[in-house]
Structure 1
Amino acid sequence: MINAKPIKVAILAMGGEGGGVLADWIVDLGEHNGYIAQTTSVPGVAQRTGATIYYVELFPREIAERAGRTPVLALMPTPGDVDVVLASELMEAGRAVQRGLVTPDRTTLVSSTHRVYSIAEKSAMGDGRVDSKELIAHATKASKRYVRFDMAQEAEANGSVISAVLFGALAGTGVLPFSRAQFEATIERGGVGVKPSLRAFGAAFTKTESGDVPADSPKGAPLVQPKDAAVAKVLGRVRAEQPAEIEQIVIEGVRRMIDYQDVAYAGLYLDRLAAVRRALPQADTMLLRETARHLALWMSYEDTIRVADLKIRGTRFERVRGEVRAADNQLLAINEFMHPRLEEICETLPTGLGRWLAKPHFVHHFVRRFTKAGRVVTTSSLRGYLMLWTVARLRAIRRSTLRYALETERIEGWLRQVLDAARINPALALEVVQCQRLVKGYSDTHVRGLTNYQTLMSAVVRAGAHLAPATLRELREAALADEHGNKLRALLAQHALA
Structure 2
Amino acid sequence: MQQRRFVSLLAAYILGDDDRRAPAVPEGLPTGIESIAVENVRRLTEYQNADYARLYMSRLGRFVHRNGVDAPMLEAIARLLGDRMAYDDLIWHAQQVLSGPGTPAAAGLPAGGVVRPSLREIAGLLPESVAGSLLGALEVVGWTDVTLEIVLTGRTRRGRVAAYCLSLLRRLRPMSVRYGEEKALVERWLHMVDRSLTKQPEATREVIESAVLLRGHGDGYGRALRNWLLIINKLAKPVFDGDIVVPGLSADLARLRQIAATDRTGDAIRLEIAVIRERAARAAS
* TM-score normalised according to structure 2 size: 0.77
1:291 — aligned with what? Answer: 77
Cα 1:491–1:319, aligned 2, differ >3 Å: closer, same or farther? closer
Specify every segment of 5 or more residues in structure 2 that has no aligned partner in the other structure, as ranges. 1-18, 280-285
**Shift in Å, 1:373:** 4.5
1:67 — aligned with what? Answer: none
1:339 — aligned with what? Answer: 116
**Shift in Å, 1:260:** 1.7
Kept after mapping to 2: 8 A contact 1:276/1:415: no
Cα 1:288–1:263, aligned 2, differ >3 Å: closer, same or farther? same
Task: Find the partner of 2:37 among 219, 244, 250.
Answer: 250
Mapped to 1, the partners of 2:140 and 2:69 lie a distance apart of: 52
2:180 — aligned with what? Answer: 405
Mapped to 1, the partners of 2:175 and 2:231 lie a distance apart of: 29
Kept after mapping to 1: 8 A contact 2:152/2:162: no
Specify every segment of 5 or more residues in structure 1 that has no aligned partner in the other structure, as ranges. 1-227, 321-333
2:214 — aligned with what? Answer: 439
Deviations 1:301-348 (A, max 9, x none): 01121122233444134978xxxxxxxxxxxxx843231112212211
Kept after mapping to 2: 8 A contact 1:304/1:344: no
Mapped to 1, the partners of 2:121 and 2:102 lie a distance apart of: 24
Cα 1:395–1:497, aligned 2, differ >3 Å: closer, same or farther? farther
Deviations 1:394-427 (A, max 9, x none): 1111111111111001111111110000012332
Find the residue that maps to 2:54 and give its secondary structure. Answer: helix
- Specify which structure has the bigger relative contact order, considering alpha-carbon pairs within 8 angstroms and separated by 6 or more residues: 2
Task: Find the partner of 2:151 among 364, 370, 377.
Answer: 377
Mapped to 2, the partners of 1:345 and 1:318 lie a distance apart of: 19
**Shift in Å, 1:355:** 3.0
Kept after mapping to 2: 8 A contact 1:338/1:377: yes
Task: Find the partner of 1:462 among 221, 238, 241.
Answer: 238
Cα 1:263–1:478, aligned 2, differ >3 Å: closer, same or farther? same
- Residue 351 (str. 1) matches residue 101 (str. 2): no
Q: How many residues align?
A: 250
How many percent identity over aligned positions?
A: 27
Describe how 1:75-154 pairs up with structure 2 within 5 A: none
Mapped to 1, the partners of 2:117 and 2:226 lie a distance apart of: 19
Cα 1:414–1:376, aligned 2, differ >3 Å: closer, same or farther? closer
Mapped to 2, the partners of 1:274 and 1:426 lie a distance apart of: 19
1:494 — aligned with what? Answer: 275
Cα 1:378–1:415, aligned 2, differ >3 Å: closer, same or farther? closer
- Name the structure where strand makes up a greater proportion of residues: 1
Residue identity matched to 1:301:
Y
Cα 1:389–1:230, aligned 2, differ >3 Å: closer, same or farther? closer
Cα 1:365–1:311, aligned 2, differ >3 Å: closer, same or farther? farther
**Greater Rg over alpha carbons, structure:** 1
- Residue 303 (str. 1) matches residue 89 (str. 2): yes
Find the residue that maps to 1:245 and give its secondary structure. Answer: coil
1:59 — aligned with what? Answer: none
Residue identity matched to 1:255:
R
Mapped to 2, the partners of 1:450 and 1:318 lie a distance apart of: 25
Describe how 1:419-438 pairs up with structure 2 within 5 A: 419-438=194-213
1:281 — aligned with what? Answer: 67
Cα 1:373–1:246, aligned 2, differ >3 Å: closer, same or farther? closer
Deviations 1:96-129 (A, max 9, x none): xxxxxxxxxxxxxxxxxxxxxxxxxxxxxxxxxx
Kept after mapping to 1: 8 A contact 2:41/2:56: yes
RMSD between aligned residues: 2.8
Mapped to 1, the partners of 2:168 and 2:67 lie a distance apart of: 42
Task: Find the partner of 1:234 among 15, 19, 24.
Answer: 24
Residue identity matched to 1:234:
A
* TM-score normalised according to structure 1 size: 0.46
Describe how 1:57-76 pairs up with structure 2 within 5 A: none
**Shift in Å, 1:391:** 0.5
Cα 1:345–1:399, aligned 2, differ >3 Å: closer, same or farther? same
1:28 — aligned with what? Answer: none
